Amino acid sequence: MPFSSSQSTRKSSHSGGFTLIELLVVIAIIAILAAILFPVFAQAREKARAISCLSNTKQIGTSFYMYVQDYDETTIALGGPIGDWYFALYPYTKNAGLYFCPDRNDCCDNYNNTNVGINISPTGKEVGYGMNWGPIERRGGGIMGGQQPDPNNPGNKFIPGISLASMVSPAQLFAFGDSYDTPRTTMTMSFLLCTWPGASNGSLRHSGGHFNVAFADGHSKAIYYRAGYMSGAENGKFAIPRATDQVSYYCADPSSTITNPDGDSLDLPNPITCGNIGAWIYSNYPPCGSGGTSHCLMPD
């Protein structure tokens, strides 16, 4: 028996399209998947940036080692016409992009040295890494000595380099690392968080508190740091490796004594054995209480 026109019309009215409920279900499923996947994608991007940053520190460490071999096994001295470390290493890297961490976005300095004809950052972005001056201010102890009068420029000061032979264990000595410092671009603990706006360890540079560091022997790795408040430090903040023994990685010779050359206002003992600084800080800096912003370590 043939279908009537009314039967055909009723059938076609239900043969295509989605109902409102079906569309809402699909939209809800997409929203749930997005909520699950977007954080994963963000974590993957952050991991990629951290890996890129680690590669930068590795190449900076390699260029540093090449520099030292060319300069009588003596590290970079700061002061004089060459300026900061990145100008000294640029002939070995030939790539200014290595000096900028993908996770450092504050600005705006223009790293231009007319004495050597190098403009590192024409866009004004901040250099992302710093040189190990030592654990505290300009007291030395790292891959360079303490600040002192410049014999070649009366009235000025400079920071001398040190010899490879004076490094007790280059594989356990920081050379360069992630830094928020400017304009000195050091990884010294009391300069390290110069422009960092955070108030918890989780917002430090990479993966909840890791900084990438190049060592004096050329290898690089991520070091887990902890932030804190320290009166007299740049921005009133500082950062310290979580493992107490790793604080001594700031010291070319952990048994050496470092002193305060310029009357800095930090409350650390003066003089102090370089390798004892980590133990002293962890013994004298408690966890920050509610609203505490001085002489304490930030919560996780």
Q: What is the pLDDT of residues 169-198, one digit of tens each?
A: 999 999 999 999 988 889 999 999 999 998
Report the largest interatomic distance among the alpha carbons of the chain, rounded to a whole angstrom: 114
Among 20-24, 92-96, 127-131, 216-220, the least confident range: 20-24
Instruction: Tell me: pLDDT of 8 over 70.
Output: no
3 in a domain, yes or no? no
14 in a domain, yes or no? no
Confidence of residue 60 (pLDDT cuts 50, 70, 90): very high
The closest alpha carbon to 128, from 107, 112, 147, belongs to: 107
Q: What percent of the chain has pLDDT over 90?
A: 49
11 in a domain, yes or no? no
Domain span at residue 286 reads 20-297
Q: What is the pLDDT of residues 30-52, one digit of tens each?
A: 888 777 766 655 566 777 778 89
Instruction: Tell me: pLDDT of 57 over 60.
Output: yes
Which H helix or E strand runs over 7? Answer: helix 5-12
d(CA 57, CA 248): 20
245 in a domain, yes or no? yes
Rounded to an integer, the average pLDDT of 253-269 is 85
> Where do we find the tokens 């654990």?
135
Q: What is the pLDDT of residues 121-172, one digit of tens each?
A: 777 788 999 999 999 989 999 999 988 888 888 888 889 999 999 999 999 9
15 in a domain, yes or no? no
More reliable by pLDDT, 57 or 157: 57
Cβ atoms of 113 and 141 closer than 8 Å: no
Q: What total of structural domains would you count in the chain?
A: 1
Residue 35's pLDDT is 73
Could you give the 3-state DSSP secondary structure of residue 30?
helix
205 in a domain, yes or no? yes
Could you give the 3-state DSSP secondary structure of residue 103?
coil
More reliable by pLDDT, 81 or 200: 200
75 in a domain, yes or no? yes
2 in a domain, yes or no? no
